[in-house]
Chains A and B, each alone.
Chain A
Amino acid sequence: MTLAPDTPPPPGDSAPIFGTHLFDGCAAAKGYALNAMCFSFNEAANREAFLADEDAYCQRYGLNSEQLDAVRARNVLAMIEAGGNIYYLAKLAGIFGLNVQDVGAQQTGMSVDEFKAMLLAQGRKAGED
């Protein structure tokens, strides 16, 4: 098949996707300070500085109160609401020894074991199809 140069987007494109937050320009602008801080955690010395004095480190990057509260609460959904992007937030989570499955469990309200079991169950189901 070939696609016409002016193929329009398919219908329904504007419909929201459950539990999914597209990181658009609005979010990128809103979350810039938080994501910049997380980006700094690529360097070990910065991770140590954050652990040594978390509030001072957040202040240095100019996090707003919504972002500060979300970081203090270790609340990933609140961080996303405050403009955080998961690729950068993962670096913050890593400081606390949390991986994407821990983060997934927190966001879905499951225990980590439940979250892992949910994924394994999807694998078994796919294998049966």
Chain B
Amino acid sequence: MAQIIGGYFTSHVPAIGGAIVRGDQEEPYWKPFFDGFPPVREWLEAERPDVAVCFYNDHGLNFFLDKMPTFAVGAAHEYRNEDEGWGLPLFKSFAGHPDLSWHIIEQLVGDEFDVTTCQSMLVDHALSIPFELAYPEAQEWPLKLVPIAINTVQYPLPSAKRCLALGRAVHRALVSWQGAEKIVVIGTGGLSHQLDGERAGFVNPDYDRFCMDSLAANPEAICVDSTKEIVRKSGSQGVEILNWIAARGALGAAPARETHRNYHIPISNTAAATMLLETT
């Protein structure tokens, strides 16, 4: 049966893509952030997962406001990146794992998560940058992808509690999957940041620390708040913590073990964080 090796969580700030292209990893501004990734790379190199189940949010590449799913699961053979409109490099394509995608979809709808299914789906920097950071030398990605997009754009957003439950339903699907793959769960985005409004530039290290401290053993503590309260505490785009919460759910209800953490302010407008959790 399949094995869930653990979870990899990281911010996905677009500017990171530019820094990678320019080779700025050792620049004083960027180094404290990039220094968070050798442990991620070493862990993935040792574990060699075959599939990534990745929770992220689309930033207006695949989804527009004409059709905005709350939860969308990719079931494509291939996921391409395309021009996002503001000069980011074009990122590598991913091979999909449609059989596992449909297995997850069956479980989710069976568990009354009535998700949108996508047999054609572009993926943006929020998905690509975490892989660029984790596999900087890769010519092609060494693992297949099941992307799960969560609406963090247009309110009402799903609650944190609901996202945790979604993740746990994904966990049930992974546990019952009959394949022999090793699976890594990924959550991208956050932590505290705000791009829009007079409060732009807001970050909240205390709240971020609370989220990071809660993630492994008590993610429910983050889920007490409504999405609006999360925005109050972590900023308009800090609400991307929903992706982390869903990914944590996909590791199962048992406590996980935190094996790595890096936290740095600022990367662009963002309090950037990277974590690894292993399942026990």
Binding site for B on A (CB under 8 A): 1-3, 7, 9-10, 12-13, 17-25, 28, 32, 35-36, 38-39, 41-44, 47, 76-77, 80, 85-91, 93-94, 99-101, 103-104, 107-108, 115, 118-120, 122-123, 125-126, 129
Contacts and interface: CB of A to CB of B under 8 A. Distances in A.
Contacts of A39: 60, 64-65
Given A3-B220, A42-B61, A91 B84 contact: yes
B114 interface: no
A60 B163 CA distance: 39
Given A3-B220, A7-B224, A129 B154 contact: no
Nearest to A15: B232
Given A7-B161, A7-B224, A123-B265, A42 B154 contact: no
Interface extent on B, as a size class? 35 or more
B193 to A, nearest CB: 9
Of listed B59, B86, B228, B236, residue having the most chain A CB within 10 A: B86
25 contacts: A3-B224, A9-B228, A17-B228, A20-B199, A20-B232, A21-B196, A21-B197, A22-B155, A22-B236, A23-B153, A28-B154, A76-B196, A77-B198, A80-B197, A85-B153, A86-B236, A99-B268, A100-B269, A103-B196, A103-B200, A107-B198, A118-B201, A119-B203, A123-B265, A129-B205
Interface of B: 14-15, 59-61, 64-66, 82-87, 153-156, 161, 194-203, 205-206, 218, 220-221, 223-226, 228-229, 231-232, 235-237, 264-266, 268-269, 271
B155 A18 contact: no
B219 to A, nearest CB: 10
Contact of A103 (B60, B195, B235): B195
